[in-house]
Amino acid sequence: MTQTPTARLMDGTALARRITEESAEAAAEIRRRTGTAPCLATVLVGEDPASVTYVRMKRARCRKAGIESRQVALPASVTTAELVETVTALSQDPSVHGILLQHPVGPHIDERAAFEAIAPEKDVDGVTTHSFAAMSFGLPGFVSCTPGGIMRLLDAYGVEPAGKRAVVVGRSAILGKPAGMLLLARDATVTYCHSRTADLAAAVREADILIAAVGRPRFLTGDDLKPGAVVIDAGYNEGNVGDVDFASAATRASLITPVPGGVGPMTIAVLLAQTVEAAGRQLGTAA
Amino acid sequence: MTQTPTARLMDGTALARRITEESAEAAAEIRRRTGTAPCLATVLVGEDPASVTYVRMKRARCRKAGIESRQVALPASVTTAELVETVTALSQDPSVHGILLQHPVGPHIDERAAFEAIAPEKDVDGVTTHSFAAMSFGLPGFVSCTPGGIMRLLDAYGVEPAGKRAVVVGRSAILGKPAGMLLLARDATVTYCHSRTADLAAAVREADILIAAVGRPRFLTGDDLKPGAVVIDAGYNEGNVGDVDFASAATRASLITPVPGGVGPMTIAVLLAQTVEAAGRQLGTAA
């Protein structure tokens, strides 16, 4: 028997558009006051088709929002030292306000060393250890874009994390771990699950707020959910499929993000917003 | 009706002694090979009696282990800028291998700024954001001493975190948060609870491994525990009392740390071990 979806959709596309419009206004204001537009440097290593597409999308969104972007494309054969040198130069270049190093950068490269070459004040993608610790300790700094987008979605839909059980499935450095830390900073009771979790279904069923960030298509289903849970699907797998089986989850959740159109667009929106914020600070126009 | 304690004690005093003996041997070896003893700089602000006692204890243990210590005592009236300057000078001083900034440093001081002035390679107390991120991402670096001591206790008593539910009650930057991250790095399913957790008893009852790090005397009791849980009491409250009611918890737990004599001695042992390790690296004798 098919059940009727009862969950309300969390429309990431619409919210991202609103945030991007605000960023475009702020970017225009910076340009008006300083003569300089915010500038994001994008660093791409190799020609991985997904990475090429992501960078192209991000640059197109920048352009629409009045943010300049400077593309730095390096061959797949680049060494860690060369990549670190390139990123360091961008960190020191006053005409660049934000730096995006598109990952993955290739297995032969020390990705962490490359990330750490990004100056904290230009880390608009929130990938440095400095940014992670700032998120964890509630200090000023930029957030990882996808977790930051998740928090904005929760806020936009009136979901108050304080006192709620939040369960994060996945523990990557740029998604699961910072998402949990941001929720903890907002007073959620946070559980991290992962591939070694013994009884995942039991843990997921505790979630008032579920963050699926595991990268496996339709890995979680409606049966796993506590009725009324808020479901954030941060997965994006082949065939435009999330980590959550949408059809079954939508019959149990109270709120759910679609894939595509949920978390995905928010990631870029936060990247743009943080680039404009970084530019405002560096150019001395920050409010 | 009084129940008989059935839990096995985790003897932190004995384990700390063994680790300290190993550190003393390693310190002697460094001295033999380089003519220089490992040196820990301790920075104390003001005259808070507990802080004075802690620093004195740490220095006494250093002495016994053949580690030199250099005491820097600053008046309570010191400014953030002066404290940062002092710590920065120690970070640059090649005769100092490790730095301990005793906290609290006073409400008028930006403690985070002072911590961040500690060079990562001398952060033997594991308090910098760099060290926190390293713990979180499984990168090389020093751990926060109390969480590091907890992990060594678990290892010494054959407690394997992988796949277990670990619940950390408390989320401070030097205890709860890093303890959870170290457990997550060892593949536990980790839940952070805190003052805003709605149903603390339910969350605590999920714990195969419970870390009490809340700083409230006898806050958790045996009734809260899952039978057979491993209970690590990192609390140390007035009257030598932990965060866990020992008498009742010892009738439910399988393993439990006493207070005193559990986590407490381990903290200093890890501090000494990391100081010797730092000295070995800086003096070029690291294995």
Torsion sign, CA atoms A146, A150, A152, A156: positive
Q: Does A193 touch chain B (CB under 8 A)?
A: yes
Residue A243 lies in a domain: yes
Q: What pLDDT does A277 receive?
A: 98
Give me the domain span that covers residue A73. 35-120
Q: At B79, which CATH number?
A: 3.40.50.10860
In this structure, are B160 and B195 located in the same domain? Answer: yes
Provide the β-strand partners of residue B99. Answer: B41
Q: Using the predicted structure, report yes or no on whether residue B228 has a pLDDT greater than 80.
A: yes
In this structure, are A95 and A150 located in the same domain? Answer: no
In this structure, are B173 and B219 located in the same domain? Answer: yes
d(CA B73, CA B46): 7
Q: What pLDDT does A5 receive?
A: 83
In this structure, are B165 and B111 located in the same domain? Answer: no
The model's confidence at residue B2, banded by pLDDT at 50, 70 and 90, is low
In this structure, are B185 and B113 located in the same domain? Answer: no
Residue A29 lies in a domain: no
**B233 belongs to the catalytic site:** no
In this structure, are A61 and A171 located in the same domain? Answer: no
Q: Using the predicted structure, report yes or no on whether residue B85 has a pLDDT greater than 70.
A: yes
Q: What pLDDT does A2 receive?
A: 64
- Option in B112, B177, B206 nearest A139 (CB): B112
**Residue B172 annotated as binding site:** yes
d(CA B177, CA A45): 34
Q: What pLDDT does A286 receive?
A: 72
ω into A227 cis (within 30 of 0): no
In this structure, are A187 and A241 located in the same domain? Answer: yes
In this structure, are A148 and A257 located in the same domain? Answer: yes
Residue B242 lies in a domain: yes
**Residue A170 annotated as binding site:** yes
**Is A150 within 8 Å of A234 (Cβ atoms)?**
yes
Model confidence pLDDT, tens digit, residues B122-167: 999 999 999 999 999 999 999 999 999 999 999 999 999 999 999 9
In this structure, are A150 and A192 located in the same domain? Answer: yes
In this structure, are A154 and A107 located in the same domain? Answer: no
Render the burial of B108-146: b for 16+ CB within 10 Å, e for the rest: ebebbebbbbbbbebbbbbbbbbbbbbbbbeeebbbbbb
In this structure, are B105 and B149 located in the same domain? Answer: no
B139 chain-A contacts, CB cut-off 8 A: 112, 129
Mean pLDDT for A32-57 is 96
The answer to whether the CB atoms of A132 and B133 lie below 8 A apart is yes
Q: Using the predicted structure, report yes or no on whether residue A285 has a pLDDT greater than 90.
A: no
**Beta-sheet pairing, A98-101 with A189-193:** unpaired
Model confidence pLDDT, tens digit, residues A223-263: 999 999 999 999 989 888 999 999 999 999 999 999 999 99
Residue A2 lies in a domain: no
Residue B29 lies in a domain: no
Residue A51 lies in a domain: yes
Q: Does B140 touch chain A (CB under 8 A)?
A: no
Closest B-chain CA to A133: B129
DSSP 8-state code for residue B165: E
The model's confidence at residue B62, banded by pLDDT at 50, 70 and 90, is very high
ipTM for the complex shown: 0.95
Domain total in chain A: 2
Adjacency order of strands within the sheet including B68-74: B68-74, B39-45, B98-101
Q: At B220, which CATH number?
A: 3.40.50.720
Q: What is the mean pLDDT of chain B?
A: 96
Q: What pLDDT does B1 receive?
A: 53
Residue A112 lies in a domain: yes
Residue A10 lies in a domain: no
- Please state which of the ranges A273-277, B1-5, B127-131, B274-278 shows the lowest mean pLDDT: B1-5
The answer to whether the CB atoms of B130 and A129 lie below 8 A apart is yes
Q: Does A162 touch chain B (CB under 8 A)?
A: yes
Model confidence pLDDT, tens digit, residues A115-168: 999 999 999 999 999 999 999 999 999 999 999 999 999 999 999 999 999 999
Q: What pLDDT does A111 receive?
A: 94
In this structure, are A186 and A243 located in the same domain? Answer: yes
